[in-house]
Amino acid sequence: MKYIIIGGDAAGMSAAMEIIRNDKDAEILTLEKGGVYSYGQCGLPYTISGIIPSTDALIARSVDTFRNKYGIDAMIYHEVNKLDPEKKVVHATNVLTEEKFKYEYDKLLVATGASPHIPDWKGIDLKHVHSLKTIPDAHKIMNDMGKDINDITIVGGGYIGLEMAESFKMMDKHVRIIQRGKHLANIFDEDMALLIHEEASKQGIEVVINENVLAINGEQIVESIQTDCNVYKTDLVLIATGITPNTNFLKDTGIIFNAKNAIQVNRHMETSIKDIYAAGDCAVHYHIVKEKDDYIPLGTTANKQGRIAGFNMVGVQRPFSGITGSSIIKFMNVSLGKTGLSEKEAQSLNLPYEMIKLETNNIAGYYPGGKSILIKLIYRNDNHQLLGGQVIGEEGVDKRIDVLSTALFNRMTMRDLEDLDLCYAPPYNSTWDPIQQAARRHS
Ligand code: FAD
């Protein structure tokens, strides 16, 4: 069987590895437009700040490993421009030599990820204007950091914006985040996000909200950024305003997309066209709590969906269980975690809900070193099923989010949460874990 995978990162190579494990006769060709395979984009902010010494450390498996150890025909600098589903052929171009190729497949996986959304503002092409997605993007930013850069403006207060604000701050830069909406990290409810603003202010990070960027000014190099309210002098701009699925080359194939141009797949990662699968940031993600497809592009999901695609491509029937929409961000001294629905999402889905908010200690009150942790739980007010949780604090956020995510995964109620047998000793917890303390308050 001849398998072709477009995209050589998380989703694509997770699928490739599962195909190898399950089909001993598999012929696998992977087409990647960049020069690197299987690297941890999530580590890029930390290589820029210097916590991780080199981007080489982010590469999980090299192209040579895929070729020599696993026998995959792993191509680099090969961009797929066209797909002919009738003939089962993909058309690719070597981006360095412009040579054109045609490859036939029996089964095809589209794992092309997503690219930063780049607004069409005047001045967007000026020097010292960046986005962050790939290792070369990180190198360009690191290269500029050696120059006379003191004031940095980040447009967009999502997780990449916040992680990069921390990185730049660690380099002693003046950092400004411009956010179009009312608050940073808009996956959180406003009451929770205010803690992020407090942390930004403690750390001397300037936060500008409710302003729309109109243009970036400068001759050749950025000098200032202009919003509908102000002009801010700045030396470097990072655009972090979201991402768009890399699916344009599939437009006239008959493949169905959602409103965000992500490929519509079923739970077996099959697209609307036979023998064509899709996974990762280019595809939709079934949301367990919403009970419908969503688009929450994350590395953890890309790996899982890629693996599931691999299983199904070789004929091992295995559905994707779905996501709960769990994520965590480290921002200076606090961690921000969210899983399931926020209050505003519950409202927009018209769900009957209640919420509980509790601020407490992350460990036993009498044990030294405890830190404050703020928990918000959302649950259905008819059957008391948990709908979501947001947790912000200096320590212990990841553990609580993972317990809440497991509860959502198993469709547990507030009573189930109360009854969970969670570990306890004073340096780690209270006899009642903070999320159980919160759950016990439900009516
Ligand atoms: P990608 O990793 O984007 O891979 C797609 C590949 O396809 C790319 O290598 C691309 O070059 C290639 N490609 C695209 N089009 C074509 C074409 N036409 N022909 C050939 N090749 C093509 N997620 C988390 O869960 N936690 C985090 O902490 C986190 N932090 C992040 C921090 C940063 C700075 C970034 C940028 C992302 C972060 N993510 C995080 C998101 C995570 O990296 C992505 O969700 C994940 O990489 C998606 O994997 P993918 O395989 O679907 O797509």
Rounded to two decimals, the ipTM of the complex is: 0.99
What residues contact residue 440 under an 8 Å CB cut-off, 6+ apart? 418, 432
- pTM summary value: 0.97
283 CA distance to ligand 1 centroid (A)? 12
pLDDT at 437 over 80: yes
85 close to 285: Cβ distance less than 8 angstroms: no
pLDDT of residue 242: 96
DSSP line for 77-117: SEEEEEEETTTTEEEEEETTT--EEEEE-SEEEE---EEE-
pLDDT of residue 442: 87
* H or E, element range at 246: none
pLDDT tens digits, one per residue of 345-397: 999 999 999 999 999 999 999 999 999 999 999 999 999 999 999 999 999 99
| Closest residue CA from atom 6 of ligand 1 | 7
Q: Which of 246, 328, 398, 401 to mutate to test the pocket of ligand 1 (most atoms within 8 A of CB)?
A: 246
pLDDT at 218 over 90: yes
pLDDT at 20 over 90: yes
* Burial grade of 145 (CB within 10 A; 0-12, 13-18, 19 or more): middle
Distance, CA of 245 to CA of 192 (rounded, Å): 29
Q: Is 8 in the pocket of ligand 1 (CB under 6 A)?
A: yes
Q: Is 79 in the pocket of ligand 1 (CB under 6 A)?
A: yes
**Token code pair at residue 339:** 């899983």
pLDDT tens digits, one per residue of 307-328: 999 999 999 999 999 999 999 9
pLDDT at 443 over 80: no
Give residue 183's pLDDT band: very low, low, confident or very high (50, 70, 90).
very high
Q: Is 280 in the pocket of ligand 1 (CB under 6 A)?
A: yes
281 CA distance to ligand 1 centroid (A)? 7
Sign of the four-CA dihedral 123, 127, 133, 134: positive
Q: Is 295 in the pocket of ligand 1 (CB under 6 A)?
A: no
Average pLDDT over residues 68-75: 97
Average pLDDT over residues 243-251: 97
Give residue 146's pLDDT band: very low, low, confident or very high (50, 70, 90).
confident
Average pLDDT over residues 411-433: 97
pLDDT at 162 over 90: yes
| Closest residue CA from atom 39 of ligand 1 | 42
Q: Is 111 in the pocket of ligand 1 (CB under 6 A)?
A: yes
Mean pLDDT estimate for the chain: 97
Average pLDDT over residues 93-102: 97
pLDDT of residue 201: 98
Q: Is 340 in the pocket of ligand 1 (CB under 6 A)?
A: no
pLDDT at 147 over 80: no
Average pLDDT over residues 408-436: 97
Q: Which of 37, 42, 76 to mutate to test the pocket of ligand 1 (most atoms within 8 A of CB)?
A: 42
- Check 42, 229, 282, 423 and give the catalytic one: 42
Average pLDDT over residues 215-235: 98
Average pLDDT over residues 83-106: 98
Distance, CA of 396 to CA of 404 (rounded, Å): 13
Give residue 268's pLDDT band: very low, low, confident or very high (50, 70, 90).
very high
pLDDT of residue 295: 98
User: Is residue 42 among the annotated active site residues?
Assistant: yes
Distance, CA of 304 to CA of 318 (rounded, Å): 12
% of the chain residues with pLDDT over 70: 100
